[in-house]
A and B are shown apart, each in its own frame.
Chain A
Amino acid sequence: MTAVDPVALEPGLDAPDLPPRRSRAWAKLRRNPAAIAGGGIVLFFAVVALLAPVLPVPGPAEADWSAVRAAPSLAHPFGTDDLGRDVLARMVWGAQASLLAGVVSVAIALALGVPLGMLAGYRRGWTDAVISRFTEALLAAPFLILAIAFAAFLGPSLTNAMIAIGLSAMPLFVRLARGQTMAVMTEDYVESARAIGVGHLATVGRYVLPNIVPPLLVQATLTIATAIIAEASLSFLGLGQQPPAPSWGSMLNVAKNYLEVAPWMALWPGIAIFLVVLGFNLLGDGLRDALDPRDL
């Protein structure tokens, strides 16, 4: 080497040292008030659902025949339903079924749909043709009809309802993951992975998946809402949560018959579903931003 250094250091690179990525994402999430609010809402309902057995509320199926469709009072802060059951108690116990229905079914949809979609987008050709035609066939049927068909086939229970909703929501994620994968595959960095000899699995894991997570995250939080409502519809048909066990959706379905005489029956489950969906959406948005290294 000669005396001069041909590879001069560029000045202006002395930015403050940043902590590693994971703690950076966490710090970013904590600085985002909307995400904190969303996380708080989700956490609150999760805690309520978990603590249902120890909270000082009556059993969800205990009927008080002297107080049928009673307005909110000290004895029944949220009122009672058409069979004289305490709405607050049913809300607390129903949180379990509703949160599970939302989260588990979306988890099923993600677990099946994302790998299939990435496979189709990565391999293309006949693999893509087979997966895409299958997906389109599922998408051709309305979401709820499909869920009812699966649930009827699997048999009535909350577990089967979650599987049915997950299967029905899966094509959405197949299509989204496929499209996003195809978009990412055109980026030079995927070619750079091939150029240094990265294998297919590692390319998908390190190059494709991290770059398609943000839209999937947003779609997942939105689908949780749909899944909670879908569980309600299945319950109404006797295919979801089995009476007398409560879920918010099934409470809403019954309540719609008494909207004029007992609006509180619909009000509380409605507010709860609204809040949970809002909470998941805010949390999802915050997570998306926090996980994006481009956004400081």
Chain B
Amino acid sequence: MSDVVLEAVGLEKRFTRRRLFAADTVVRAVNGVDLAVRRGETYAIVGESGCGKSTMARLLLTLMRPSGGTVLYEGRDTAGMSDRELRALRRDLQVIFQDPFSSLNPQMSVGALIEEPLRVHGIGTAAERRATAAAMLARVGLRPEHADRYPHEFSGGQRQRIGIARALVTGPKVVIGDEPVSALDVSIQAQVINILAALKAEMGLTLVLIAHDLAVIRHMADRVAVMYLGEIVEEAPADDLFARPAHPYTAALMAAIPIPETGARAPAATLEGEPPNPVAPPPGCRFHPRCPHARDNCRTDHPALRELGDRRVACHYAEELTLPGIAAGTQRRAPAVERRFALLDARTQDNDRGERP
């Protein structure tokens, strides 16, 4: 499998809280995840807040040591790497953070922020680094003279551009976006998504996108993994997933996409209740307390993630269930949802022409 660039094998992360007069509580934030990201694709990980997406991002970035399992980068096991080797890896494996306001050091100028990765990895002379940073600024739509300014002088969208420039300046192979646009306005989201898409094509990046916004994911992703309580419940090519979800949780997520239309009603089949307490996950299928299709064995038998065509799904009844997707024309709700996608597309195209919406 030479086309797999980033791979997780049985990845696990437990957070233990020790208490003096009670049993330790253990949260399994990521619980035995296997996934393989192929070179050049956009792989999205989606799920509700608290499902372990962000922990997953940090594990994949090797910013956090797993409790079990391992991350392979280009076939090399990162578990045995020293701190020095891991640091060297960061030239190829980069991250775009969610919050553009807290992810840039307020004490460093924009130029220093963007040059820093080059300096850390000993790339080029000081003058070359300055030139590279200036070029990078231009590629994310800022001016080279902005290098002397400080992050607080920029808006959220501009800061995220700076964050992208900082992440991409070393020419990484894999970039992990941890909710890269969720902190931004919808119109700014489209701009930032465009920059990411353009730079991805230009630099041949592999993109791992952590997100909760299905509209963004559908717009960008080639393959999608759906996480629930620290486990992958479904993984499929994006088009298939949106057309025919195989796991009831995936279907429920799609039903919950808000419809930007006056008088639109919240869809009937949205999820009830909160995700269960991850300290004490339910037995059997972890989704069964909220699943409209749950049967007896769902309450006792934990379904394994199994192959089903070119997708993977963790549901006992994946073959029998016919769940509503949101591909155009296939379902009653689809037209309205399509309008939201169309809106995003329209904004994207406006921005392509250099106009502001």
Contact = CB atoms under 8 A, between A and B. Distances in A.
B and A form one assembly: yes
B345 interface: no
Nearest to A2: B352
A206 B88 CA distance: 19
Given A6-B198, A10-B158, A187-B102, A196 B61 contact: no
B152 interface: yes
Looking at A11, A192, A206, the one whose CB has the most chain B CB atoms below 10 A away is A192
A195 B96 CA distance: 10
Nearest to B163: A192
Interface in B77-112: 86-91, 94-95, 97-99, 102-109
Nearest to A187: B102
B353 A7 contact: no
Contact of B104 (A9, A17, A192, A206): A192
A198 interface: yes
A202 B121 CA distance: 13
A5 interface: yes
A28 to B, nearest CB: 13
A188 interface: yes
B116 interface: yes
B152 A189 contact: no
Interface in A154-203: 187-189, 191-199, 202
B194 A7 contact: yes
> Which size bracket describes the interface of A in this complex?
20 to 34
A72 B87 CA distance: 71
Given A13-B143, A196-B117, A202-B120, A294 B150 contact: yes
A1 B139 CA distance: 12
Nearest to A195: B95
A198 B195 contact: no
A24 B202 CA distance: 38
A293 B107 contact: yes
B141 A197 contact: no
Given A11-B356, A195-B95, A6 B194 contact: yes
A189 B197 contact: no
A196 B103 contact: no
> Which size bracket describes the interface of B in this complex?
35 or more
Nearest to B139: A7
B353 A189 contact: no
A18 B148 contact: yes
B263 interface: no
Contact of B90 (A18, A188, A196, A293): A196
A240 to B, nearest CB: 39
Nearest to B58: A191
Contact of B202 (A1, A188, A202): A1
B146 interface: yes
A54 interface: no
B354 A8 contact: yes
Interface string A5-39: 11111110101011011000000000000000000
B351 interface: yes
Looking at A7, A187, A189, A198, the one whose CB has the most chain B CB atoms below 10 A away is A7
A211 interface: yes
A122 to B, nearest CB: 15
A195 B90 contact: yes
Contacts of B86: 197
B347 interface: no
A205 to B, nearest CB: 11
A207 interface: yes
B189 interface: no
A180 to B, nearest CB: 13
A53 interface: no
A243 interface: no
Interface string A281-295: 000000000000110
Contacts of B286: none
B148 A8 contact: no
B195 A6 contact: yes
Contacts of B116: 196, 198, 206
Interface in B260-293: none
A189 B104 contact: yes
A20 B148 contact: yes
A75 interface: no
Contacts of A293: 106-107, 109, 150, 152
Interface of A: 1, 4-11, 13, 15, 17-18, 20-21, 187-189, 191-199, 202, 206-207, 210-211, 293-294
17 contacts: A1-B198, A6-B194, A6-B198, A7-B139, A7-B141, A10-B158, A13-B158, A18-B148, A189-B104, A195-B63, A196-B117, A196-B170, A197-B88, A197-B120, A293-B107, A293-B109, A293-B152
Given A10-B157, A188-B102, A194-B63, 13 more contacts: A6-B197, A8-B351, A8-B353, A10-B141, A10-B158, A13-B146, A17-B145, A21-B109, A191-B103, A192-B163, A196-B167, A202-B120, A211-B106
The 4 closest A-B pairs by CB, nearest first: A197-B90, A210-B107, A8-B354, A188-B103
Interface of B: 61, 63, 86-91, 94-95, 97-99, 102-109, 116-117, 120-121, 139-143, 145-146, 148-150, 152-153, 157-158, 163, 166-167, 170, 191, 194-195, 197-199, 202, 351-356
